[in-house]
Homo-oligomer: A and B are copies of this chain.
Amino acid sequence: MRKAKRQHRSELSDEELAALDAHWRAANYLSVGQIYLMGNPLLRQPLEPAHIKPRLLGHWGTSPGLNLVHTHMNRVIRRRDLSALCVWGPGHGGPAVLANSWLEGSYSETYPDVSRDEAGMERLFRQFSFPGGVPSHVAPETPGSIHEGGELGYALSHAYGAALDNPELLVACVIGDGEAETGPLAASWHSNTFLDPVHDGAVLPVLHLNGYKIANPTVLARLPEAELDELLRGYGHEPLHVTGDDPVAVHRAMAAAMDTALDSIARIQREARNGGTVVRPRWPVIVLRTPKGWTGPDEVDGLPVEGTWRAHQVPLAGVRDNPVHLAQLEEWLRSYRPEELFDEHGRPRPQVLACVPAGSRRLGATPHANGGLLLRELPIAPLQEFAVPVDKPGMTLHEPTRVLGDLLESVMAATAGRRDFRLVGPDETASNRLEAVYDASGKAWQARTLETDEHLDRHGRVMEILSEHTCQGWLEGYLLTGRHGLFSCYEAFVHIVDSMVNQHIKWLRTSRSLPWRAPVASLNYLLTSHVWRQDHNGFSHQDPGFVDHVLNKSPEVVRVYLPPDANTLLSVADHALRTRDHVNVIVAGKQPCFDWLSLDEARLHCARGAGVWEWAGTESAGQEPDVVLACAGDVPTQEVLAAADLLRRHLPDLAVRVVNVVDLARLMPHEEHPHGMTDSEYDALFPTGKPVIFAYHGYPWLIHRLAYRRTGHAHLHVRGYKEMGTTTTPFDMVVRNDLDRYRLVMDVIDRTPGLGVRAVTVRQTMADARTRHHAWIRDHGTDMPEIADWAWGG
C-alpha cells in the first residue's frame, strides 16, 4: 500500500517534512535501541553480540506509530503554541514515549544521569526493561504520562478526565485497535456527551489501526472503512483518515489531518465560548492506519513480520546467537541513518529537534502530567456547618450520606469558580442521597434535553453515566492532572472497577517513590447502598468484598473507613478529601441511622481510628472487662449496641466493653500498615485473655486476616456477611448472616466462661427472639415491631 490517502491539504514544506522525518527516524532508532542494545549505541562499531542485551524485551509493533503521533504533536504544539498532554493508550510501546522524551530533553531534566548525549543514550538503552531500570510500558516513571500502558481500556476515559475543567488544554489520546475492543474503551467514546466545550479542554482521539493484537487481527481494523466511519460518527465524531506506509505521504497526510482536526476543535470552542453552541458538537477523530512494526524487518526467517502480529514484540529474537538476525538488526538500525540524526557526541542534531517545542510545552514536561504541581487545597468549610447535633447517643436518626451531601454541596459551591472538584457516579447520586450537591452544580450533559429533565447542566460538575469504568477513568484522569473528586457507588458494583483501582494503586505506590512526582489528591470512594441494605434488590446487589480487594494492595496507599454514623462520616470524608496519594474507601449507609457521636466526639474517635465507647459498655474504670463487643460498620454497630443493651438488661453483672473501629487498618500490625496499632495499643483495647465478639460489616475472615498476629487472636470471634444473601428485610439480612443482636448475645454467653445458670435462660430468650423473627417476617413481610422500635437505652 505504498501510498497514503491525501484527504487533506498538506502545508508541509520539503524542509519541514525532512525535519519531521528526521525526528521520527530518530525516535524509531532510539526505540529499537532500547529493545536491543546495551552498548555501541551510535553504531560506531559493527554490531556484535556483546552489544546486545541478554534478554530481549519490549513491544516494537506499536512504537513507530506512537513516534509518528509524537512527532506530529510536536509540530502542532510548536506551531500553535498549544498546551497539550498525550495519553498513550498503546503504552506497551514504552520505548517510543521514552525516546521522544529523551529527544526533547525532558527525560534528562527528570533523570540527569540519562543525559542527552552518547553516554545518556547508552543508559537509556540499557535501563529499558532491565532489572533496576525502567518498565517496558509507559509508567509513572515516564515523564509526561498519566496513564500506565499495561492493562488496556482506560486511555480515553483518562484523556477526558484530564480535559475536564482545563479549557486551554488539548488532550491527544492514542487508542490502539486492540484496546478499542475492550468494554471500558468502547463505553468511553460516549464521554463527549459530557464534555463542555466552554469550561473543558478538547480531546483528540487518534485511533491507531495497526491491524493486529498479540496474535489476532483486530475487529476495528477489519471493518470496511465505511462501516468504521459509521461507528465513529455514531460515537459522535467526525473521522479523518491517515492511511499508508510511505513515510513522506503519511507525514503529509498526518500533518494535514492534525491541522484539520485542530482547526475544527478551535472553531467548536470559539463558537461555544462565544455563547453559540447549543447542541453537542461533532468532534474530530483521526484514524491512523499504518503497518504494525512499520520500518522494521519485512521478513524474518522467511516469514512476514512488518504489518503482521509477528511484529508485536521483538521481531528478531535470536540476535545474540544468530548472525543472520544480528546482521538484520544492524541493517534495520542503520536504515534510520543515525549519523544524520546524532552528532559526534550523540546529541540530536538541530534538524531532528526542529519540531520540538520548548519548556513546559513539551509533552514530557507539561505540568498537567504531574498534577500535584497544580494542585490547590480544597476549600472545605468547618464541619460544624453540617454536623448533626447529638446530646445523647442514639436519640436521633439521620441518613449519613444525606448529611455528607451538604458538605459536598458546600465544596461544590466553593469551587464554582476554580472548577477543580467533581463528583462522579453511575446514575446513583440521588439514589445515594447526595442530591444536595445539585444546589451547587447540575449534572454535566451536552445532549438534547427535555422538559421533564432535572438538574442537567451544560456546565455541570456532577458526572453520571451508567458505567463504573467510565466514572473511574474520568476521576483518575482528573486527579492525576491535579484536581479533586469523589466517586459514589453502590458497594456491590464497585467490583466492576477492581482491576482499575489495582492499576491506580500501583501507579500511586510507584509515584510515591519518585521525588519529582508531586503528590496528587486521593481517589475517594463513597460506597453506599451497601450489603446490609440491599435487602430489597437481593443477592446480586450484596457484596462487601471491595475492602478485601484493596487491602491486598500497597498499605502506604490504601485506607478503609467504616464510619458508624453521620458525624463520623463527615469527619472521615473531611480527612479523606484533604489527603494525598491515597485510595480512601469509605463505606457508609444512606438509610436512617442512629446518631451516636457529636461532632467533637466523632473527630476524636476518627482520629484514633478505633476506641472504646465507654457510654455503651458496663465495664468499671480500671478493671478489665469480661468480654469485648467490637464493631465496624453502621449496621454492625447498631447490632452491637442493641446487644450491649440486651446484656445490660439481662446480665447486668457482666462487664462488657464496646469497641468501635472506624479505620480498619488499625487492626493490622504496625509494621504492616502505617495506621496499624502497636501490640500494646491493641492489647489495651482488646485485653489478651478476654473473648472478643466482633461484628464486622463485610466478610468475617477479613478481620482474622488483619489481626491474626495479635496475642489475643485465639479469643477473637468474628461475625459478618457470609454470602447468605437474598431478597428480604433489613433485619432478616443480619439474622441470616448471624450478625444480629440476639446472636451476638448468644455468642457472648457461649464464649465467656463462668456466667452461670442465669445465662442459660438468657440464651434461650435470645434464641426464642430469633424464632419469633422468622415467624413474623413469614407472616408480615416486615421486621418485628421490637426491631423497628428499638432505640439505645429505650
Contact = CB atoms under 8 A, between A and B. Distances in A.
A704 B699 contact: no
Contact of A181 (B133, B190, B499): B190
A134 B448 contact: no
A130 B725 CA distance: 13
Interface of A: 38, 53-55, 57, 129-137, 139, 148-153, 178-179, 181-190, 193, 213-219, 222-224, 227-236, 304, 307-308, 427-431, 443, 445, 447-450, 452-453, 456, 464-470, 492-493, 495-496, 498-499, 502-503, 506, 509-510, 536-541, 543, 545, 548-549, 552-554, 699, 701-702, 704-705, 708, 713, 723, 725-729, 732, 777-778, 780-782
A225 B183 CA distance: 23
A554 B723 contact: yes
B543 A502 contact: yes
A498 B537 contact: no
A214 B545 contact: no
B219 A190 contact: yes
A447 B219 contact: yes
A217 B453 contact: yes
Given A222-B448, A230-B230, 19 more contacts: A54-B782, A57-B727, A131-B732, A135-B539, A135-B540, A137-B538, A150-B538, A181-B187, A182-B466, A183-B467, A215-B431, A219-B465, A231-B235, A234-B234, A234-B235, A502-B545, A701-B708, A704-B705, A704-B708
B215 A430 contact: yes
Given A150-B540, A150-B541, A732-B131, A230 B234 contact: yes
A764 B106 CA distance: 44
Top-4 shortest CB links A-B: A231-B234, A150-B540, A183-B183, A186-B186
B495 A502 contact: yes
Contacts of A307: 452
A430 B214 CA distance: 9
Chain A binding surface, main DSSP class: loop
A536 B233 contact: no
29 contacts: A38-B781, A53-B781, A129-B538, A130-B781, A131-B727, A131-B728, A132-B778, A135-B540, A136-B727, A150-B537, A150-B541, A181-B187, A181-B466, A183-B187, A186-B187, A214-B431, A215-B430, A217-B449, A223-B234, A227-B233, A229-B234, A493-B499, A496-B498, A498-B549, A545-B549, A548-B552, A549-B549, A701-B708, A705-B708
B447 A131 contact: no
Contacts of A536: 55, 57, 129, 136
A258 B216 CA distance: 35
A166 to B, nearest CB: 23
A445 B215 CA distance: 13
A304 B431 CA distance: 19
A470 B183 CA distance: 8
Contacts of A701: 552, 705, 708
Nearest to A443: B216
Contacts of A445: 216-217
A427 B219 contact: no
Nearest to A446: B222
A291 to B, nearest CB: 10
A467 B181 contact: yes
Given A151-B493, A182-B183, A502-B543, A427 B466 contact: no
A702 B702 CA distance: 9
Contacts of A230: 230-231, 233-234
Contacts of A510: 539
A59 B583 CA distance: 34
A538 B139 contact: yes
Nearest to A282: B227
Contact of A452 (B181, B214, B308, B452): B308
Given A231-B230, A540-B148, A777 B430 contact: no
A495 B727 CA distance: 27
Contacts of A453: 217
A187 B189 CA distance: 11
Contacts of A179: 466
Contact of A217 (B133, B150, B429, B456): B456
A748 B346 CA distance: 52
A552 B541 contact: no
A447 B221 CA distance: 10
A781 B131 contact: yes
Contacts of A189: 186
Nearest to A229: B234
A302 to B, nearest CB: 13
Contacts of A702: 705
Contacts of A187: 181-183, 185-187
Contacts of A723: 509, 552-554
Name the residue in A148, A152, A219 with the highest tally of chain B Cβ atoms < 10 Å from its Cβ: A219
Nearest to A473: B183
Contacts of A55: 536, 729, 781-782
A456 B213 CA distance: 14
Contacts of A133: 727
Contacts of A190: 181, 219
Contacts of A150: 537-541
Contacts of A548: 548-549, 552
A133 B729 CA distance: 11
A178 B465 CA distance: 9
Nearest to A58: B536
Nearest to A445: B217
Given A183-B182, A230-B234, A499-B496, A223 B447 contact: yes
Nearest to A188: B183
A307 B234 CA distance: 25
A264 to B, nearest CB: 17
Contacts of A502: 492, 495, 543, 545
Nearest to A554: B723
Contacts of A152: 466
Contacts of A219: 190, 193, 447, 465
Contacts of A213: 427, 466
